[in-house]
């Protein structure tokens, strides 16, 4: 099955990191296509916003300059991918002019048929303060219809830490991971559950899973009392990941689950953490906090938010 990824590019080193991550991960996968998107901001002033509804309207000099820069970012990104082994026919590019960069990216991601949206981001500052790009923050807060991949620094691509918990969104994340890694020749997945000493998450019931996976499958594979370790492994195996490349790590309990996930990922050599997150209207409490904090604290690692 074809896999299509939308990649936001802006010419920054952070955008370049996300391109390099995708090249390492999917360089040998002929089923993947990359759609590059660059957005030229109108700057939010004057009447440039009218260009979004009237494409024949002339742009201001400032917007025209940003459009030229965005076009160059797309060309440079495509050339970078090709140099690193991605066939040019697997790459598509699109430029948008909009008053809000984050809204334009989100609209494209949600209206298109993409398996994921990839954004590079800035990491922690020298004194530990967050220099977190506004576009990344907005995507995490508002983009819930498409799996979101946030890439920080030089992230590895051979080992994945799947954060396991007893909720349908976690199984959805496992399903997404299996689909994206189907053609990967060597990727390994570590299943890990970090339990918070404060709890706070409503326990799921078997019927919560029936709509997505069916009662028969759930009756056979759901192990709610065991944080769904077996069910996650089953979904990964059904998706094409050999069982010998799936490992279960011991459950641990910590006050700060997000810090623990990052610590476990580093300890086990995982360059990507995969977290299932609930729909926006349900994303309150611990799950939302874990995904947000994990992304904000991530350094030289990619975080996938799916579910």
Domain boundaries, the chain: 3-152, 159-306
pLDDT tens digits, the chain, 307 residues: what are they?
689 999 999 999 999 999 999 999 999 899 999 999 999 988 754 343 334 444 444 456 567 899 999 999 999 999 999 999 999 999 999 999 998 898 999 999 999 999 999 999 875 443 333 334 567 777 888 888 899 999 999 999 999 999 999 999 999 999 999 999 988 999 999 999 998 755 556 679 999 999 999 999 999 999 999 999 999 999 999 999 999 999 999 999 888 999 999 999 999 999 999 999 875 554 444 445 788 889 888 999 999 999 7
3-state SS, residue 19 = helix
- In total, the chain counts a number of residues equal to 307
User: 3-152 and 159-306 share one CATH topology?
Assistant: yes
With CA atoms as reference, report the closest residue to 177 among 249, 115, 110. 115
**CATH architecture designation of domain 159-306:** 3-Layer(aba) Sandwich (3.40)
Q: How far apart are CA 8 and CA 15, in angstroms?
A: 7
Integer angstrom CA distances of residue 302 from 23, 33, 109, 158, 297: 14, 20, 19, 12, 11
List Cβ neighbours of 82 (8 Å cut-off, separation of 6 or more): 88, 91
Task: Report whether 148 contacts 139 (CB < 8 A).
Answer: yes
Q: How far apart are CA 298 and CA 165, in angstroms?
A: 20
Q: How far apart are CA 305 and CA 165, in angstroms?
A: 14
**CATH architecture designation of domain 3-152:** 3-Layer(aba) Sandwich (3.40)
Task: Report whether 144 contacts 280 (CB < 8 A).
Answer: yes
Helix axes 229-238, 168-180, angle to 10 degrees: 30
């Amino acid at each position: 099955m074809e896999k299509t990824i939308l990649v936001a590019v802006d010419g920054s080193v952070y955008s370049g990191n996300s391109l390099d991550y995708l090249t390492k991960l999917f360089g040998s996968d002929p089923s993947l296509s990359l759609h590059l998107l660059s957005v030229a901001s109108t700057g939010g002033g004057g009447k440039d916003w009218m260009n979004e509804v009237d494409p024949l309207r002339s742009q201001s000099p400032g917007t025209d300059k940003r459009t030229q820069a965005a076009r160059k970012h797309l060309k440079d990104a495509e050339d970078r991918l090709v140099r690193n082994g991605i066939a040019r026919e697997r790459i598509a590019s699109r430029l948008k002019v909009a008053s809000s960069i984050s809204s334009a990216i989100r609209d494209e991601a949600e209206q298109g048929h993409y398996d994921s949206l990839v954004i590079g981001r800035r990491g922690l500052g020298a004194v530990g303060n967050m220099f977190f790009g506004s576009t990344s923050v907005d995507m995490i807060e508002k983009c819930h219809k498409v799996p979101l991949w946030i890439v920080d620094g030089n992230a590895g691509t051979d080992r994945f830490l799947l954060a396991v918990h007893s909720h349908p969104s976690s199984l959805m994340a496992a399903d997404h991971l299996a689909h994206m890694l189907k053609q990967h020749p060597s990727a390994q997945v570590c299943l890990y559950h970090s339990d918070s000493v404060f709890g706070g998450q409503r326990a799921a019931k078997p019927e919560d899973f029936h709509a997505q996976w069916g009662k028969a499958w759930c009756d056979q594979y759901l192990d709610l009392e065991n944080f769904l370790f077996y069910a996650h492994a089953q979904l990964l195996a059904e998706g094409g990941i050999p069982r010998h490349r799936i490992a279960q790590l011991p459950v641990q309990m910590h006050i700060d689950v997000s810090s623990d996930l990052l610590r476990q990922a580093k300890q086990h050599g995982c360059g990507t953490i995969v977290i299932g997150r609930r729909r926006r209207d349900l994303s309150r409490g611990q799950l939302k906090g874990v995904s947000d904090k994990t992304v904000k604290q991530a350094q030289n690692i990619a975080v996938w938010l799916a579910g």
